[in-house]
Every structure is written in C-alpha cells, then in structure tokens.
C-alpha cells in the first residue's frame, strides 16, 4: 500500500513537473534566445522610407541609382565609413545604404527644405530624392569618427553654405564633409 501511494505521488509530481516545464518552456526559450547582430546585418531586407520592401522586384531594385555600403573599416583602412562618401544623382533618384557591417544607420544632417530622415540601426535603408540640393548625412553613433556622406541631387548646389557650416559636424566629420563639398565647387 505504501509503495502504491509513493508510486502515485511520484507519477503525480512528475506530471505536474512536466506540465510546468511545458508552460514555462517558451518563456525560458525567449529569455535565452540571442540574436546575432551579424545575422541582422547580412540579411537582404531593404527599407525604403522605413517601409520593408522584401517584395521589391529585380526590375525595381535595378532602378536604384547608387548603393552606399555602411562599413566598420573603410576602403583605405579608416574606421567607420560610408563607401562611397559622395553620391551624385538626378531628381527622383534612389540611394540604397547597404548594412554591410553592424552598428550603423543613416540620418540626414542638412537637407533642402529641412527634410528629416533617420533609418533604423543594423538595417539596409533607401531613400528616393525628389527635392534637388545637397544632403549631408551621418551614422548617428559614429559621426565624430567621421562616418558621414553627401548626396547631391540634380547638380543643385544652392544650399552649399548651409551644408558647409553646420553645427552638427564635429570631430573628423567636419573636415571630411568640408573636403567633399570643396571638391564639388572646384
């Protein structure tokens, strides 16, 4: 009789333990789940105006006028760079910033009509430029290290003065942006 009671208690405790495990398993799995940032950066999910465009056709992707890579190490060995740092496109042109390495985004600093744009971290992003002028942009966490770039739309340099003298440029960014812009007016 005692053996039977102990057996029933043991089976009951096992069933309760198994039920609790099945209930808690998703919560435990979610807590221990780790996303590798390299996987996030190497995916092919593109974003245009912050909307996923996973359904973009090859014909639409071919319409992108320039692809800028976001890099931890630039082509000449410098740290934190966009490659290329200068894009010259027509009005209506599209630029795609490819998340080649982790930790980067795109945020406009100077733009005609004070246009605002900021992409998500670790994601490729795109923008269609409908207003002519000079656009300067940065990687939000790496601007002081010189991770900046310029897009010139429609060969319009009318906002050159605002692009040259902006308070958001500091560290290496100021010198790099000014060198790029001086090269345009030469």
Domain span at residue 97 reads 39-185
- Prediction pTM value: 0.68
Local structure of residue 50 (DSSP, 8 states) = T
Regarding whether 50 and 1 lie in a shared domain, the answer is no
In terms of domains, do 16 and 105 share one?
Answer: no
Q: Can you tell me the distance from the alpha carbon of 84 to that of 103, in angstroms, rounded to the nearest whole number? A: 18
pLDDT at 156: 96
Identify whether residues 48 and 92 lie together within a single domain. Answer: yes
Residues 20 and 112 occupy one common structural domain: no
Based on the fold, state whether residues 72 and 144 are members of the same structural domain.
yes
Q: Do 22 and 60 reside in the same domain of the chain? A: no
Q: Are residues 29 and 47 in the same domain?
A: no
Positions of the chain with pLDDT under 50: 30-57, 60
- Whether 15 and 53 map to the same domain: the answer is no
* Strand, coil or helix: 175: helix
Distance between CA atoms of residues 4 and 6, nearest Å:
5
Count of structural domains within the chain: 2
CA gap 102, 116 in Å, rounded: 23
Q: Are residues 105 and 28 in the same domain?
A: no
**CATH classification of the domain holding 53:** 2.60.40.420
pLDDT tens digits for range 74-101 = 888 889 999 999 999 999 999 988 888 8
pLDDT of res. 57: 42
Report pLDDT for 69.
87
| Structure confidence at residue 161 (pLDDT) | 93
3-state SS, residue 102: coil
Residues 146 and 167 in one domain: yes
pLDDT tens digit sequence for 48-72: 333 333 333 455 456 688 988 899 8
């Amino acid at each position: 009789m005692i053996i039977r009671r102990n057996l029933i208690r043991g089976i009951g405790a096992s069933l309760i333990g198994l039920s609790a495990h099945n209930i808690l398993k998703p919560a435990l799995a979610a807590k221990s789940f780790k996303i590798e940032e390299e996987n996030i950066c190497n995916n092919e999910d593109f974003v245009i105006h912050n909307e996923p465009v996973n359904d973009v056709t090859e014909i639409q992707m071919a319409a992108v006028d320039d692809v800028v890579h976001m890099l931890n190490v630039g082509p000449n060995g410098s740290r934190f760079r966009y490659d290329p740092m200068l894009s010259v496109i027509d009005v209506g042109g599209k630029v795609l910033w490819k998340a080649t390495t982790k930790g980067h985004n795109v945020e406009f600093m100077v733009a005609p009509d004070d246009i605002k744009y900021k992409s998500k971290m670790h994601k490729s992003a795109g923008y269609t430029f409908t207003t002519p002028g000079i656009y300067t942009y940065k990687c939000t966490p790496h601007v002081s290290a010189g991770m900046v770039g310029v897009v010139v739309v429609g060969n319009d340099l009318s906002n050159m003065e605002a692009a040259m003298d902006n308070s958001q440029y500091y560290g290496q960014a100021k010198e790099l942006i000014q060198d790029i812009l001086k090269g345009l007016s030469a």
